[in-house]
Structure 1
Amino acid sequence: MSIQQLKELFGNQDAVLELVQLENGELALRNAGSENAPLVTIQFNDEVRALLGENTAMVAQHMIQAALLGLIEKQANQWQAEVMDEPPKIFS
């Protein structure tokens, strides 16, 4: 995902994201105060939800943090490759 795509998704201002539980039990990441469709939803089956108990939201938050960090790392690696004027054969 490029910076331009992120700007289109979040707008040109800083994004404030919130993790909320929807009526159907899914956890959703969305722009704070937005009525638009969630950016991401996470649904745990009943067995996993029972196993996690009150830690369900924390696990979902860590899943989203890991995804965002992975995206940032990938983008940084691509920028570094562009600075070197030679695309690497493998992005780490």
Structure 2
Amino acid sequence: MSFVTDHILKNPPVLLGLIAMIGLIVQRKTFAEVVKGSLTAVFGMVALTAGVNMLTGTIAPINTAVQTQLGVQVADGLSDVTFTAEYGGTVGLAMFLD
């Protein structure tokens, strides 16, 4: 169970593809439609993640400059990466079992 939680449920593209695959199988779609729909969900999530990373990469220097000028610090642990690392498996398991 630890392998499933750590390597599948904490990996959003794989989890989304798995959910899409189950949904398509329940709808009794053909094998080709199941594969196409699952891969579309996976690649869509990968593209979305890449876009978000580009956006945050653009904003990060501005954030650093504002922090330096105002003399403030952002609290550690307030990012999607830390949330996913800590709670991703539990949330994924809840989504999968629901």
Same-fold status (TM-score > 0.5): no
More strand by share: 1
Q: Structure 1-normalised TM-score?
A: 0.42
Q: Give the number of the structure whose alpha-carbon radius of gyration is greater.
A: 2
